[in-house]
Amino acid sequence: MLQPLVVGLGRSGSGLHLNTLVRLARRTAATGDPLVTLPAVGCDPRAGGLRPLGMPGEVTAVATLEQALRYVDPATSVVHVCTPPRLRYDVLAELAGHGFRRMIVEKPLAASVDELDALIRLRQEAGLELAAVAHWTTSRLAGRLRRLVGGGRLGSLRRITVDQHKPRFLRSLATDGHPSALDVEIPHSLALALDLAGPAELRAARCWDLRCEDRGLPRLGGAHLELEHRSGVVTLLRSDLGAPVRQRSVVCEFEGGTATAHFPLSEDDDHAQLVVAPFDPGTASPPTGVLDADGAPGTGHHVFRDDALTDFLDGVYRGFASGTAGVGNFPLACATARLLCAAREHCADTARARAGSR
């Protein structure tokens, strides 16, 4: 079994990773196939002021990496790096210097092309096993979309539109971990688009400010990205972080119909939904909302459980145990990070051009 060390106890580290790890440890222990050793160790300079994490014996919080080394052995640990993107490389290098080799890195993988290239070199030189958080692409919902894309039932994929909207005023006002809306929700949908439609080039990108009463936070109001894939597919990614409602939906437009996917909105409910609708009902099977013999979703409305982050961590931990973690995940994470860097630069160039024209 492997013991988790979560570095960074913000929303991602404490609210998602630690809670999910405890749930995964309980689940695998109950089935007689224990995977995660508890207590998980959480490391953050603010550890002393955080509310209790988990049940007694499930989580130990420390303030420094040196303190964490009293509780974990690098040889049998998996480090979850949940620090802000601009701090990623230094944290990974420090962890590698202490002998940690298995690491799960929150999105985005790096904040700049130079940092990404340095991270790739560190991975090679230190022999790191790196996996980037990508539970959207490994979800059951994404698996059904892939089968639709590959199966040809609705013809060729033509367009992908992703909407990720949620009100994020409080966190944006209270923290400065994300420099723009490009770093919040977009990495999930960008990785999914690349996974479904293949490599792409950036066509356009823009960010806008988040405004609340008399305050304005630059570039944190939302983001739009347009991609053109080598396969001919066009993708539009939209994220509004000042929206009054939550939405996590993906619309795949094919030659012969559409597939509208709805990801779970929060940890309150882990059910996903998928609506498969051909343009010509006369050529489709009756609407059943069930899977075919080959696992492809049939016409209709599908509702199913999809605890994507738990399943993602389950798969990565088993991959670390077998030496295969990150094999397919890391190249996709690098491609996603490079496109995000291109989008940041595009937005920066646009802002400079506007400032120069005044």
Domain-located, residue 358: no
- Provide the whole-model pTM: 0.91
Domain-located, residue 350: no
Domain-located, residue 349: no
pLDDT digits (tens, 9 = 90+) for 167-218: 998 777 777 667 789 999 999 999 999 999 999 999 999 999 999 887 888 8
Q: Quick one: 149 and 80 in the same domain?
A: no
Please give the pLDDT value at position 283: 56
Q: How many other C-beta atoms are found inside a 10 Å radius of the C-beta of residue 155?
A: 12
Domain-located, residue 121: yes
More confident residue, 123 or 284: 123
Q: Quick one: 230 and 101 in the same domain?
A: no
Q: Quick one: 235 and 316 in the same domain?
A: no
| DSSP element (H, E) containing 78 | strand 77-81
Mean pLDDT of the chain: 90
* Cα–Cα distance measured from residue 185 to residue 348, given in angstroms and rounded to the nearest whole number: 19
Q: Quick one: 92 and 152 in the same domain?
A: no
For residue 286, pLDDT beyond 70: no
Q: Which of 251, 240, 152 is nearest to 192 (CA)?
A: 251
Query: Which domain does 79 fall in, by range?
Result: 3-135+312-329
Strand partners, 6: 42, 80
Total domain count, the chain: 2
Q: Percent helix, strand, coil in the chain (nearest 5)?
A: 40, 30, 30
Q: Quick one: 12 and 102 in the same domain?
A: yes
Domain-located, residue 352: no
What is the rounded average pLDDT of the residues 260-288? Answer: 82
Please give the pLDDT value at position 291: 77
For residue 85, pLDDT beyond 80: yes
Q: Quick one: 180 and 233 in the same domain?
A: yes
Q: Quick one: 268 and 322 in the same domain?
A: no
Q: Quick one: 54 and 164 in the same domain?
A: no
* Cα–Cα distance measured from residue 136 to residue 107, given in angstroms and rounded to the nearest whole number: 12
* Cα–Cα distance measured from residue 154 to residue 104, given in angstroms and rounded to the nearest whole number: 36
Please give the pLDDT value at position 216: 83
More confident residue, 328 or 265: 265
Please give the pLDDT value at position 23: 92
Domain-located, residue 76: yes
